[in-house]
Chains A and B, each alone.
Chain A
Amino acid sequence: MRSRRFRSYLALALSVVVLAGLGIYVALRLRITTDVSLLLPAGEDRETLSVLSRIADSELARSMVLTLGAPDLDTAVAAGRELEAELRREPAVHAQLASLEGGPSTGSERAVYELYHPRRLAFFAQDEAGVSAAASDEALRAAARRLKERLAQPLSPLLSQLAPSDPTLSILQLFERVQGSQGAALGLQDGRFVTRGEPYAVLFLRTHARAFDSAAQAPFLAGVQAAFARVNARFEGKLRLDQSGANRFAVRMEQEIDRDLTRVSSLSMLGLGLVMFLLFRSARLLLVAAIPLGAGMLVGLSATLAVYGSVHGVTLAFGASLLGVALDYVEHLYCHHAVAPHAGGPAATLRAIAPSLVTGALTTLVGFVALGGSGFRGLEETALFSSAGLTAALVATFSMLPALLPERTREVPLRARLVSRLGRFFDALRAQRARLWILPLLALGVCALGLTRAHMSQDFLLGQLDPQLMAEDQRVRSRVARFDQSRFVIASAATEEQALQVNEQVAAQLSAAVARGELTAFQSLASLLPSARRQTAVTNAARAQLGDGQALVRAFEAEGFRAEAFEPFLAQLAAPAPAALSYAALADSPLGGLVRPFRITLAGKPAFVTFLSGVGRPDVLARDLAAVSGARFIDQQAQLKRAYLDYQSRTLQWLLAGTAGVLLLLAVRYRDLRKTLAAFLPSVLGALLTVAVLSLSGHGIDLVALAALLMVVSMGVDYGVFLVDASDESEDEPTIALLSVFLAATTSVLGFGLLALSGHAMLRVIGLTAWIGMTSCALLAPTTLVLLGRRSRRAAGEAT
């Protein structure tokens, strides 16, 4: 006796030491993320999706656009100016502000002159091949005629200053081309960005922090709101602020998850505590029940942090729900220890029910492992968390609980009455065995009806994005941008110069696509910033073609110009070429706001983005661009959807495989068809019933619902196992197991029911699916046991 107690305390002490160590590890390493990109699929096209994931990390995702509506444009401009000043003053915003622009930088024109004019030979033509055409006698005469026509116009004073050093007006034409290709999405008033047609001022922001760094973004967004509230108060509440930015989705998601987790966990704990206290009247038992759960959470967190470096909020919520199954094992132990305690104490009781607990845990683990096999990053993380957690919870149940449980529990009249009623209920089921077939037949009927309406959901975002925020985001984007937000081209390479070279090739392909009518327009940095190689090549080609410049002078002279007027251009031809224009020089100039949106960093490598408009044939464009090494056509929605569907089908396969694994495990455990089916069928029928009910209520089955179904099968089978094992030991009185199932079902239904009321879509789907599934399993388990079990002696006697 003493040695048994000693072993129990030793196991408890060792467990406490291990858990304390893990507790310190978790406290030091814990990082919770709400990065929506981790919950996006990563199917066969992993490389593309990895690019998408990196884009989510890049400057593109860190950008925000604010539109400030007012009764009229003058008011909008004034309010926009004040909002910019308030944002700069607001400490929470200022700390995170990488850039803020409400209008073009002052000095842009001077910057154009200073940066481009000295390098005008590098822009003599779009590429080296175009130089010979531009330098031909015919082209030079045409340029002279053009210049003369423009000199006759009112803008002649500008041209008369520029033309002596740039007779072909290369730089002026470059900016006219760029302006033409950019279109007119935004207007300007009094030096501020405004929308066309509607009275909105526009501000562009970028943060230092990642869009999905909610800890940094939440105060930043609160600061934006605070700044707006002050400005709006000054304008008598007549302003409307609409915002667009990935950070808003991340923060909203975290707030929803936080709110849901707090509500679900606190109410679940309250409900669970109440039920257990009513049945066992022991605060000690209540506290001890939390230990396996706590151990499971610690080990789950440790494993996830060790492998992934952070834990996603959804993993925490989903994983914690999954770990709730560990409570079923504790409740099963409590029920046996309270109703039919073993003479050897709680440790002996635990040993007696160990096969049931281990079988239940193994079937559940099969399901959890299958979740991870789907390859979906979000589910992989959840699978790791819950598998490690469940294993730890089971080990903690065996290693810690025996030493902490009392030798005997208090008699509770309510529990006794419940056991008695459950016994009578089970007898009634047996007595009505013939009629009982109606229940599974009814369930099958509902399944047949529902399954005909079942359909897979196509929503690859899994409903995670708040519809209100989405609508606001769309409103802002439609006001300020005419380029497609989800289709663009990325040109990346090891160095910036190489990336610019790739960007040029992309621009050439896209120009050809525009000419073929496959694309309406594109916006690229290639014209404003050719690679250094191209700038040098064009400069050299221009010098070679123009020679000493006398041919150009003669051509202009023939059109009525004075030869001596072009001395500055001839001097430029003879002078050494300046260093090529670089991205850094442009970004550091007042033109920075114009060029920065095109430059991002992907996995530490420089990359340039080209924005597209009117992509007619995405497949053709993707094929054309595939020929350019380092270029990648990104069609976010199509690629995510394709990967999602691929994922969905893989998860369905894993659901079937997991279900087969559970069946195999039960078959090995029981080696008896009736028992195997009695344990197995309730969970499968429960899962099918869930699909049917969801379908009949208009819900599509998405990836998360499939994962939750796997959970229903693997966790729901525990009810069957408990009942089959109990009826095996005492065929006529499996009432203790019924009490366990009743208790487990009550707590599960409560927990999942609360989860089904979540504000966060993914948690809501998990909750709803599991709630329907586990309720069905709990109702079908005793029914199936009666139908598939041998007729009891008592029932047989009564029948006689």
Chain B
Amino acid sequence: MSVRSWFIALGLLCAAGAAAQPQQPAAAAQPDVSQLMAAFARMPGLEARFVEKKRMGLLAQPLESRGRLFFARPGLLLRRVESPSRSEVLITPKELKLRDANGEQSIDLRARPDVRPFVESLTWLLAGDQKALASVYALQFERSDKGAPWQLTLTPRAEPLAHLIAYVRVVGSGLAVTEIRVREKGGDETVTEIVDANPSRKFAPAELKSLFGVESGKP
């Protein structure tokens, strides 16, 4: 069962990557990885729209889904899919909840030592914790002169993640993330495009309750 959970974590990692769209500085600024992480660390919260496309060997046509992402400190993330069918993934430091038309499924992250590091790697990314992130992934930061000026490639260092994921590539311009690309070992690929991001989003107590199911920012 934990194999399934790895993928939940990986999916969330993709979603979280999409959420990581910090304040937009001048387009000319070309940060290095440390500056990128420092910018993530300053982000109070986030709301963004996303478009996700999955190209899979199983399916004749790519699967496309659209929705919103919400992130609040210290580690609350909601990935709400609005089309083609409604579903939600909520992650808190304690648990992971999946909700769709078939019902709700909850996974106690404290009970999943195999899953937890992957889920925490999302928190590390959003918190700008480069050291922790580097403990799970090999980080490769590249600048490009074409279109997207930089890309951060995360390559899993060890099994079981390395058996399934070839790499996760975060693409951005300046200090803004514009795309997350997850390449699986089997060749399937998920590309998440981030649009309309508000990296200064702050959540009122009522919103925290309704979106994340918590009374305050502390779950």
Interface residues of A (CB under 8 A from B): 73, 108-109, 112-113, 148-149, 151-161, 163-164, 172, 175, 179, 187-191, 194, 560-562, 565
Task: Give chain B residues whose Cβ lies under 8 Å from the Cβ of A73.
Answer: 110
User: What CA separation (Å) do A404 and B89 show in the bound complex?
Assistant: 94
Task: Give chain A residues whose Cβ lies under 8 Å from the Cβ of B48.
Answer: none
- Of A108, A152, A560, which is within 8 A of B65 by CB? A152
Q: List 7 A-B contacts (CB under 8 A).
A: A153-B87, A154-B12, A155-B5, A157-B7, A158-B4, A175-B1, A187-B108
- Does A189 contact B2, Cβ atoms closer than 8 Å? no
User: What CA separation (Å) do A703 and B5 show in the bound complex?
Assistant: 58
Given contacts A187-B108, A188-B111, contact A157 B59 (CB under 8 A): no
A773 CB to closest chain B CB, in angstroms?
Answer: 60
- Does B56 contact A151, Cβ atoms closer than 8 Å? yes
Given contacts A109-B1, A153-B87, A175-B1, contact A158 B58 (CB under 8 A): no
Q: Quick one: closest A residue to B96, CB to CB?
A: A154
Task: Give chain A residues whose Cβ lies under 8 Å from the Cβ of B58.
Answer: 151, 160, 163-164, 561-562, 565
The residue among B10, B11, B111 with the most chain A CB atoms within 10 A of its own CB is: B111
User: What CA separation (Å) do A718 and B81 show in the bound complex?
Assistant: 92
B6 CB to closest chain A CB, in angstroms?
Answer: 7
Contact residues of B between 153 and 184, Cβ < 8 Å to A: 164-165, 184
Task: Give chain B residues whose Cβ lies under 8 Å from the Cβ of A113.
Answer: 3
| 19 additional A-B residue pairs with CB within 8 Å, beyond A152-B81, A155-B4, A163-B58 | A108-B2, A109-B2, A148-B59, A148-B63, A149-B102, A151-B58, A152-B65, A153-B89, A154-B10, A155-B5, A155-B11, A156-B7, A156-B188, A157-B10, A157-B184, A158-B3, A191-B113, A560-B61, A561-B58
- Does B85 contact A157, Cβ atoms closer than 8 Å? no
Task: Give chain A residues whose Cβ lies under 8 Å from the Cβ of B209.
Answer: none
- Does A157 contact B164, Cβ atoms closer than 8 Å? yes
- Does B100 contact A149, Cβ atoms closer than 8 Å? yes
B159 CB to closest chain A CB, in angstroms?
Answer: 11
State how many residues of chain B have any CB contact under 8 Å with chain A. 43
- Does B60 contact A151, Cβ atoms closer than 8 Å? no
Task: Give chain A residues whose Cβ lies under 8 Å from the Cβ of B110.
Answer: 73, 187-190
- Does A562 contact B57, Cβ atoms closer than 8 Å? yes
User: What CA separation (Å) do A152 and B102 show in the bound complex?
Assistant: 14
Interface residue SS majority, chain A:
helix
Contact residues of B between 1 and 56, Cβ < 8 Å to A: 1-8, 10-12, 14-15, 54, 56
User: What CA separation (Å) do A172 and B1 show in the bound complex?
Assistant: 8
A151 CB to closest chain B CB, in angstroms?
Answer: 6
Q: Is B98 an interface residue (CB 8 A)?
A: yes
- Does A561 contact B108, Cβ atoms closer than 8 Å? no
- Does B59 contact A155, Cβ atoms closer than 8 Å? no
- Of A109, A188, A565, which is within 8 A of B57 by CB? A565
Given contacts A109-B3, A565-B57, contact A156 B11 (CB under 8 A): yes
User: What CA separation (Å) do A58 and B153 show in the bound complex?
Assistant: 57
Q: Quick one: closest A residue to B188, CB to CB?
A: A160
Task: Give chain B residues whose Cβ lies under 8 Å from the Cβ of A175.
Answer: 1
Q: Is B112 an interface residue (CB 8 A)?
A: yes
Task: Give chain A residues whose Cβ lies under 8 Å from the Cβ of B10.
Answer: 154, 157
Given contacts A190-B113, A560-B60, contact A158 B54 (CB under 8 A): no
Given contacts A151-B58, A153-B87, contact A187 B111 (CB under 8 A): yes
- Does A156 contact B56, Cβ atoms closer than 8 Å? yes
User: What CA separation (Å) do A160 and B187 show in the bound complex?
Assistant: 10
- Does B60 contact A561, Cβ atoms closer than 8 Å? yes
User: What CA separation (Å) do A111 and B186 show in the bound complex?
Assistant: 22
- Does A154 contact B14, Cβ atoms closer than 8 Å? yes
A569 CB to closest chain B CB, in angstroms?
Answer: 12
Task: Give chain A residues whose Cβ lies under 8 Å from the Cβ of B3.
Answer: 109, 113, 158
- Does B8 contact A160, Cβ atoms closer than 8 Å? no
The residue among A149, A154, A187, A562 with the most chain B CB atoms within 10 A of its own CB is: A154
- Does A179 contact B1, Cβ atoms closer than 8 Å? yes
Task: Give chain A residues whose Cβ lies under 8 Å from the Cβ of B79.
Answer: 154
B74 CB to closest chain A CB, in angstroms?
Answer: 18
The residue among A109, A157, A172, A560 with the most chain B CB atoms within 10 A of its own CB is: A157
- Does B63 contact A151, Cβ atoms closer than 8 Å? yes
A7 CB to closest chain B CB, in angstroms?
Answer: 84
Task: Give chain A residues whose Cβ lies under 8 Å from the Cβ of B8.
Answer: 154-155
A170 CB to closest chain B CB, in angstroms?
Answer: 15
Task: Give chain A residues whose Cβ lies under 8 Å from the Cβ of B165.
Answer: 157
Task: Give chain B residues whose Cβ lies under 8 Å from the Cβ of A562.
Answer: 57-60
Task: Give chain A residues whose Cβ lies under 8 Å from the Cβ of B57.
Answer: 160, 562, 565
Task: Give chain B residues whose Cβ lies under 8 Å from the Cβ of A188.
Answer: 108, 110-113
List 5 A-B pairs, minimum CB-CB distance, nearest first.
A154-B11, A188-B111, A158-B7, A155-B7, A157-B7
Contact residues of B between 62 and 76, Cβ < 8 Å to A: 63, 65
Task: Give chain B residues whose Cβ lies under 8 Å from the Cβ of A159.
Answer: 7
A776 CB to closest chain B CB, in angstroms?
Answer: 65
- Does B186 contact A161, Cβ atoms closer than 8 Å? yes
A394 CB to closest chain B CB, in angstroms?
Answer: 70
A167 CB to closest chain B CB, in angstroms?
Answer: 9
Task: Give chain B residues whose Cβ lies under 8 Å from the Cβ of A154.
Answer: 7-8, 10-12, 14-15, 79, 89
- Of B60, B61, B113, B184, which is within 8 A of A160 by CB? B184
Task: Give chain A residues whose Cβ lies under 8 Å from the Cβ of B6.
Answer: 158
- Does B188 contact A157, Cβ atoms closer than 8 Å? yes
User: What CA separation (Å) do A747 and B86 show in the bound complex?
Assistant: 87
A554 CB to closest chain B CB, in angstroms?
Answer: 14
- Does B2 contact A151, Cβ atoms closer than 8 Å? no
- Does B59 contact A189, Cβ atoms closer than 8 Å? no
Task: Give chain A residues whose Cβ lies under 8 Å from the Cβ of B186.
Answer: 160-161
Given contacts A109-B3, A161-B164, contact A153 B98 (CB under 8 A): yes
Q: Quick one: closest B residue to A191, CB to CB?
A: B113
- Does A152 contact B15, Cβ atoms closer than 8 Å? no
Given contacts A160-B57, A560-B60, A561-B58, contact A153 B111 (CB under 8 A): no
User: What CA separation (Å) do A154 and B18 show in the bound complex?
Assistant: 13
Task: Give chain B residues whose Cβ lies under 8 Å from the Cβ of A163.
Answer: 58
A191 CB to closest chain B CB, in angstroms?
Answer: 5
